[in-house]
């Protein structure tokens, strides 16, 4: 914990939830997602200084795992550039994770899944934007939507393994995948993480989460607080909100913090990467790492069915 010298009270830090290993990298289980740093495409651009402040405050409070992508951009903001500007020279213990597969045109439209031979260019784009020589983890993101397919990913992973051998990346993960694709991936290369949509009211990957735990692979949910339905593509999910709000009041926390805490309770291999462009929200997200939900509250939360 750090101490707020104005209030003389401890400020929760990201190490409160413990650590997990991504290959040879040890990370705190509460990290930061970069997608929201510059704002979402359907929102007004976020204040650039706020985005830089989020990154610096997150690292100050112990975040050592940042998830990003070259296709996280708006017309005036680029997540990788914000990360590089805010944090260079990068701390030795900071683990940067990016993803390749999809891409976006200059006008923001998603392009089809890259061919295996195109992945080198995507990896190099991330390296160039971040200003580094090697990326700690590269996730192969399958598809350009959140709908999964069982398409073979062996050839793509073979291409990433070649880039690993060439020193452009250290470890390989996969994203938006099925259990069958994980099984296929493990015949090609070690996999350090699976990054799928998952949250308290979005439980379709319960079995995959458990499988990852059995295999010692990190499971990294995205949209753990929001959902991919509603007024915006990642709008707030109100399923079970009465129960969640009641539990939040008990812990003097917000419903979003309860959702993040529940996520971290799903297993020691489960990491959280909440994203924000708001300096106040980043402290709230990090404080979720210190919440310890009791068995009764966990049972109540587990019983909430997805709407």
Its pTM stands at 0.92
Contact indicator for 207, 183 with CB cutoff of 8 Å: no
307 found inside a domain: no
- The confidence score (pLDDT) of residue 236 equals 61
Query: What is the domain count for the chain?
Result: 1
**198 included as an active-site residue:** no
Closest residue by Cα to residue 68 from 26, 31, 105: 31
Strand partners, 26: 21
133-153 residue pLDDT tens: 999 999 999 977 778 888 999
Beta bridge partners of 174: 140, 194
pLDDT at 223: 86
**Residue pointed to by tokens 């997602």:** 33
Give pLDDT, residue 231.
42
Is residue 114 in a domain? yes
Answer yes or no: is 127 within a domain.
Answer: yes
d(C-alpha 214, C-alpha 205), whole Å: 14
**Domain annotation covers residue 297:** yes
d(CA 96, CA 76): 22
d(CA 243, CA 220): 25
Q: Which residues of the chain have pLDDT under 70?
A: 1-9, 41, 226-237, 305-307
* pLDDT attached to residue 237: 64
Residue 281 maps to which CATH number? 3.20.20.100
Q: Which member of 72, 73, 198, 223 is catalytic? A: 72
Q: For residue 133, is it within any domain?
A: yes
Nearest to 202 by CA among 229, 179, 178: 229
Look at residue 251 and tell me if it is in a domain.
yes
Structural domain boundaries enclosing 216: 2-302
DSSP letters spanning 202-265: B-TTHHHHHHHHHHT-EE--BSSSB-S-SSSTTPBP-TTHHHHHHHHHHTT--HHHHHHHHHHT
Q: Which helix (H) or strand (E) holds 162?
A: helix 154-165
pLDDT at res. 104: 83
């Amino acid at each position: 914990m750090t101490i707020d010298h104005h209030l003389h009270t401890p400020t929760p830090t990201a190490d409160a939830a413990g650590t997990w290993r991504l290959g040879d990298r040890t990370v705190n289980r509460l990290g930061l997602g970069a997608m929201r740093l510059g704002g979402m495409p359907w929102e007004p651009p976020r204040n650039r200084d706020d985005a830089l402040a989020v990154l610096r405050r997150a690292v100050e409070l112990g975040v050592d795992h940042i998830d990003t992508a070259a296709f996280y951009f708006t017309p005036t903001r680029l997540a990788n550039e914000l990360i590089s500007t805010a944090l260079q020279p990068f701390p030795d213990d900071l683990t940067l994770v990016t993803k390749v597969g999809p891409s976006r045109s200059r006008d923001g439209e998603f392009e089809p899944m890259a061919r295996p031979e195109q992945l080198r260019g995507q990896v190099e784009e991330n390296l160039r934007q971040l200003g580094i020589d090697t990326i700690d983890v590269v996730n192969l993101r399958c598809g350009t939507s959140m709908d999964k397919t069982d398409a073979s990913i062996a050839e793509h992973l073979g291409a990433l393994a070649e880039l690993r051998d060439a020193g452009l990346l250290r470890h390989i993960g996969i994203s938006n995948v099925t259990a069958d694709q994980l099984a296929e991936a493990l015949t090609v290369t070690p996999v350090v993480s699976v990054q799928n949509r998952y949250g308290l009211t979005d439980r379709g990957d319960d079995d995959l989460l458990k499988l990852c735990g059995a295999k010692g692979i990190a499971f990294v949910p995205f949209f753990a607080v929001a959902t991919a339905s509603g007024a915006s593509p990642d709008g707030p999910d109100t399923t079970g909100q009465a129960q969640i709000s009641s539990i939040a009041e008990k812990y003097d926390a917000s419903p979003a913090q309860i959702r993040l805490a529940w996520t971290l309770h799903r297993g020691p291999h489960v990491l959280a990467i909440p994203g924000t462009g708001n300096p106040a929200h980043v402290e709230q997200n990090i404080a979720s790492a210190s919440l310890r939900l009791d068995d009764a509250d966990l049972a109540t939360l587990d019983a909430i069915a997805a709407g």
